[in-house]
Chain A
Amino acid sequence: MSLEPFQKSSALSLGVELEMQLVNTHDYDLAPYAEDMLRLMSKIALPGAVVPEMTSSMIEVSTGICHSSAEVLGQLTQIRDALVKSADKLNIAVVGGGTHPFQQWHERRIYDKPRFRELSELYGYLSKQFTIFGQHVHIGCPDADTALLTLHRMSRYIPHFIALSASSPYVQGQDTAFDSARLNSVFAFPLSGRAPFALTWDEFTVYFNKMAHTGVVKSMKDFYWDIRPKPEFGTIEIRVFDTPLTIERATALAGYVQSLGSWFMNDQPFMPTEDDYLVYTYNRFQACRFGLDAVYVDPATGGHMPLREHILMTMAQIERHAHRLDASASIHLLRTSVERNDNDARWLRERQGEERLLAEVIRQAADRFRGGVDHEPGGFS
């Protein structure tokens, strides 16, 4: 199968996908309600789409094409409200977060869809361990070469994205000591990690054809890269974010990506090189393990600095672009959280420190996701 042509899209347009957890309201373990949620959500007029995911306790929602983070927030608010309404009807709850803290992967059920069955047969237990929840951000690129250039520039900021979105410290009931343990599950897949260093679509097409010739891949969907081009949408798709606990944070991350994209496309601040990837895996590990407390190795200079400082420095660099794109609120939300050394992983750990019961942490996270929707206070403390 050949690589499909890169479609036109408007530069810096945005699309956000969120993989959400469905939990019961009894012991707050994952609950296999995807089909029922899809049925109820299909009756509500919404922007974007709602689709099933690998296992039956997951659901993926996505916005339509947006042009600003305010538009993303508007659409996510509508979708979130519909999710909460449908979940209330089924007596379940919808939760963000990159992992379910205490679910047992072997108890999961593969969603009944041919592609998921095929993947399950190929990947065995990895497909059930893929009951993890991420946010994907699509950013529109005017042409294919710009997309690849933006993709490789964006790779330097993968640690930023990981640390800012990290919300998966717990796996199988244990604190992993990672802020984002979710990405360790992704790494087990053979076609995960970084995209090949190709800066033009012609080079990339050669690579894809070689891979297709080996029979290992049939389409772009078979690559689980951290960032991958999405030719059918005319975008690049950043896939390292854990699903945040709130749609406000999800929106802010989209605004941050958009502002970075604007900086790259308009100012051409640097040229990516293959050597950028010498420190890629190390930086990625640091961000997963330590979150905002990670050390960042600058791929250009080799200098070490706290990731937190590098994020703040970047925010200063893109401020002008954020302002122009009406994404200042997004940057402000993220900057404040960096200054407070605060991300969702920390919130989850603080709640667990207080409650000593991961199920209660999930219940509070579900309340947090509800935001203003018929918010019901969470019991007594």
Chain B
Amino acid sequence: MNEIMAIWAEWIKPSAGLPTVQWSILLALAAAAGHLVNRYTGLPKVIGYSAVGTFAGLAGFTGAAWPLQGTGLFLLELGVAVVLFEAGGRIPLRWFRHNPMVLVQSLAESTLTYFGVYWLLGLMGVPAVVAESLALVAMAASPAVLSRVAIDTRAAGPVTERALVLSTLSTLYALTLCSARAGMLPRGEAGLSDTLLPVLVVLGLSVVVAAVLALVLRTALRVMSPTSENTAILLLSLIAAGAALASNFGGSAPLAALLGGMLLKQLNPRPWSWPRQMGTASSMLTMLMFVLVSVVAAQADWSRPVASLVLGLVVVRMIAKVAGVSLGNAGSGTSWRQGLWVGCAMSPMSSVALLLVSQYVAASSSIGGQVAVIALPAILLMEMLGAVLATVALYRAGECSRPWSPVVRGASTGPVHES
């Protein structure tokens, strides 16, 4: 592969540079693969994107080197920030006042995931500091994968909504704790006050950026129509600026975007119409994010011990999420069966997890490296398998039609579903 690239680089001198051409072709292939997977299997397009990224990564594609940095890292941060901003906007805080059990479900599943993964990895001989870091990463479910699955299978309903909200909240905890923990890695072990302070710093700085973002957008929405394309562009541009600034100040870009979405929903309870306007631009950004994640994650070294650790982590994480959601299910407004499917729908792990691992690697190459050895294969596995599990969960919950039936031409007699 590298030889071919070298010959190619000699042969052509594209105006925007060879990486641009490579990435453009890779994205074109991913778009086609996503479409074909959806067209002929009925499964979500994200599986096609990830498959292309995985093949490229395994074939030694050089467009995204691990650890991520520069433009690649920024694009990943931006993609995650856009998804999390929108996901944050789906969380009205008043809901927790009317239904505090949702918060209980969220805290229970995240806490159980943390302790479950930490316990298992410790049992399997992983050093405590690595196990702890991986346990924090494992808390984050992927609202990005889940929302793409919901869009592709046209799923809607209480399980879809609840799983999206709980995934977003778990991401919020993981972003806060991991960002703080990564900041502490170079200093080694720390006491309680040393642990709390970085959490507050990350959270505080992210809240400041989030508040500025939300206030500017609120002001813009006073004079601009939420259905205008320009409003969508303004929004994307501001999130990009926020993402670049938040990291610079010591906060977390995705966390700032997530909190910005939540704050804007509080300040401006009017319906969110701009996601429809963001359309293709937003879709391309998220597709790029999925491809990037799988290209990078596929570069991990697989071995038998790593495989058993990854499988153990994935299984315990899933059990913990289902158990946590079920633990807080009583009085939460969903049935036990729905609680089970919510837990299953939270299995994807993707871009946010990769970002968190990047933070660890940036903070300490030795510990970060050990975290990445286990985390990258787990992320790759759960980007694809997680998407399939989430699809099955939403189907079994009765919130989408049979997703693995290929799209057929002509009259359909199957169930009809809502967007």
A residues near B (Cβ < 8 Å) are 24-33, 36, 39-40, 56-57, 85-86, 88-91, 104, 106-110, 112, 128, 356-357, 359-360, 362-363, 376, 378-380
Contacts and interface: CB of A to CB of B under 8 A. Distances in A.
A106 B273 contact: no
Nearest to A359: B271
A91 B270 CA distance: 15
19 contacts: A27-B272, A32-B156, A33-B158, A36-B158, A39-B335, A85-B98, A88-B99, A89-B99, A91-B161, A107-B416, A107-B418, A108-B418, A109-B415, A357-B225, A357-B271, A362-B271, A363-B270, A379-B268, A380-B268
B187 interface: no
Interface stretch (B14-22, B29-37, B89-97, B309-317): B89-97
Contacts of B222: 380
A32 B159 CA distance: 11
Given A33-B157, A88-B99, A91-B92, A57 B418 contact: yes
Given A26-B272, A110-B416, 12 more contacts: A27-B275, A30-B418, A91-B165, A109-B415, A110-B415, A357-B271, A357-B273, A359-B270, A363-B270, A376-B94, A378-B270, A380-B222
A164 B90 CA distance: 37
B333 interface: yes
Contacts of A128: 416
A30 to B, nearest CB: 7
B226 A91 contact: no
Contacts of B410: none
B95 A91 contact: yes
A357 B227 contact: yes
Contacts of A39: 335
A26 B418 contact: no
A128 B412 CA distance: 14
B308 interface: no
Nearest to A26: B90
B334 interface: yes
Contacts of B226: 357
Nearest to A378: B269
A363 B269 CA distance: 9
A29 B273 contact: no
A60 to B, nearest CB: 18
A128 B333 CA distance: 27
B39 interface: no
A28 B272 CA distance: 9
A27 B418 contact: no
Contacts of B165: 91
Interface of B: 89-90, 92, 94-95, 98-99, 154, 156-158, 161, 165, 222, 225-227, 268-273, 275, 333-335, 398-399, 415-419
A39 B331 CA distance: 11
Contacts of B398: 112
A33 B335 CA distance: 12
A108 B271 CA distance: 21
A31 B418 CA distance: 8
A373 to B, nearest CB: 11
B334 A36 contact: yes
A44 B382 CA distance: 41
Q: Closest 10 interchain pairs by CB?
A: A359-B271, A88-B98, A91-B95, A379-B269, A89-B333, A89-B99, A107-B418, A28-B271, A107-B419, A32-B157
A109 B158 contact: no
A90 B333 contact: yes
Contacts of B334: 36
A86 B275 CA distance: 28
A316 to B, nearest CB: 43
Nearest to B418: A107
A29 B275 CA distance: 14
Contact of A36 (B225, B271, B333, B416): B333
Contacts of B268: 379-380
Contacts of A56: 418
A109 B418 contact: yes
Nearest to B269: A379
A377 B334 CA distance: 28
Nearest to A87: B98
Contacts of B89: 26
A32 B416 contact: no
A90 B157 CA distance: 10
Contacts of A29: 418-419
Nearest to B164: A26
A27 B271 contact: yes
Contacts of A27: 271-273, 275
Contact of B156 (A25, A31, A380): A31
Interface centre among A31, A90, A356, A359 (most CB of B within 10 A): A90
A342 to B, nearest CB: 25
A109 B271 contact: no
A57 B417 CA distance: 11
Contacts of A24: 156, 161
Contacts of B333: 36, 40, 86, 89-90
Nearest to B227: A357
A362 B273 CA distance: 13
Contacts of B157: 31-33
Contacts of B95: 88, 91
Contacts of B271: 26-28, 357, 359-360, 362-363
Contacts of B270: 357, 359-360, 363, 378-379
B401 to A, nearest CB: 9
Given A25-B92, A31-B156, A89-B99, A359 B419 contact: no
Contacts of B415: 109-110
Given A27-B271, A380-B222, A107 B417 contact: yes
A108 B401 CA distance: 12
A28 B271 CA distance: 7
A29 B417 CA distance: 13
Nearest to A40: B333
A108 B416 CA distance: 6
A204 to B, nearest CB: 37
Interface centre among A28, A29, A36, A86 (most CB of B within 10 A): A36
Contacts of A36: 158, 333-334
A56 B272 CA distance: 23
A32 B419 contact: no
Interface centre among A86, A91, A110, A356 (most CB of B within 10 A): A91
Nearest to B268: A379
Nearest to A363: B271
B128 to A, nearest CB: 39
Given A91-B95, A128-B416, A32 B269 contact: no
A326 to B, nearest CB: 36
Contacts of B416: 106-110, 128
A89 B102 CA distance: 9
A380 B154 CA distance: 32
A110 B399 CA distance: 12
